[in-house]
């Protein structure tokens, strides 16, 4: 577990933002026909705000590993830049729903591993389009699998606000819990690993009705753009990863040292 301190917050200057953005490479990806591309936390930021632009998360001392997550919005990522910036793990968007595949996935997934990062992939869920099992199979077939090489993190289910309409996708809390469980169980059956669940506390508690308990199987990747992680979603005692800012790129911190990150990768 991480400990908290009264560390000061650092705000990014416009010059610093411009410098880092220039290292991301051109935004060239386009979504497949009939689909859009949403990055992890894009809808959380829209509904819950982005807070301050922090260079590093405050209140963190020992036992941390820094990382980022990317999607087609970053195009061809300069992974050497992010390695030199201290990032040691990455999550790459692979799929969304059952129609979208990240056209930059290969460069991003292999490139992050090529510089030495531990990496994994994530799936942006659209629960009103098809059932959880169907989307889990699509994810695994298109970059979401897992291998016991010590360098691959378990795949992540990104479940957050509906980018197309009603917050909870028009589903009851019970139906949403069932959808998530269908995805999780299917992913586990295909890979032998439980997927990480990426979400925000506000969305999760609202759309699951604080009824679904995944804390004993699925690691939590929590999105909250504030000075601290805040309260956990229902039943999770702690977070595994914290996405603390989306500027100038989605940045994350792993809740433990490098040995624990390696343990998560190895299973």
Catalytic option among 48, 69, 96, 250: 69
Q: Which residues contact 192 (CB under 8 A, 6 or more apart)?
A: 146, 267
**Residue 33 is a catalytic residue:** no
Catalytic option among 37, 158, 160, 250: 160
Find out whether 120 and 150 touch, Cβ atoms under 8 Å.
no
Q: Which residues contact 157 (CB under 8 A, 6 or more apart)?
A: 122, 123, 125, 136, 180, 183, 184, 187, 195, 196, 197, 198
Find out whether 111 and 81 touch, Cβ atoms under 8 Å.
no
CA 256/CA 240 separation, integer angstroms: 8
**Residue 250 is a catalytic residue:** no
Active site residue ranges: 69, 160
């Amino acid at each position: 577990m991480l400990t908290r301190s009264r560390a000061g917050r650092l705000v990014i200057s416009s010059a610093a933002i411009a410098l880092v953005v220039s290292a991301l490479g051109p935004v060239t990806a386009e979504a497949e026909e009939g689909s859009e591309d949403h990055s992890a936390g894009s809808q959380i930021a829209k509904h819950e705000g982005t807070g301050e632009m922090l260079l590093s998360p405050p209140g963190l001392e020992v036992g941390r590993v820094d990382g980022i997550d990317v999607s087609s919005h970053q195009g061809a990522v300069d992974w050497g830049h992010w390695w030199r910036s201290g990032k040691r793990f990455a999550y790459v968007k692979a799929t969304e729903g059952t129609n979208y595949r990240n056209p930059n996935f290969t460069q991003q997934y292999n490139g992050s591993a090529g510089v030495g990062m531990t990496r994994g992939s994530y799936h942006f869920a659209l629960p009103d389009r098809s059932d959880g099992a169907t989307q889990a199979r699509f994810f695994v077939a298109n970059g979401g699998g897992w291998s016991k090489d010590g360098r691959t993190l378990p795949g992540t289910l990104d479940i957050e606000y509906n980018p197309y309409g009603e917050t909870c996708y028009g589903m009851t809390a019970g139906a949403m819990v069932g959808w998530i469980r269908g995805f999780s169980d299917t992913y586990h059956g295909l890979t032998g690993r439980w997927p990480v669940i990426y979400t925000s506390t506000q969305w999760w508690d609202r759309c699951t009705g604080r009824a679904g308990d995944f804390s004993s199987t699925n690691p939590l990747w929590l999105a909250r753009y504030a000075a601290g992680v805040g309260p956990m979603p229902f039943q999770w005692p702690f977070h595994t990863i914290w996405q603390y800012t989306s500027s100038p790129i989605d940045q994350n911190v792993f809740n433990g040292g490098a040995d624990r990150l390696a343990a998560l990768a190895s299973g």
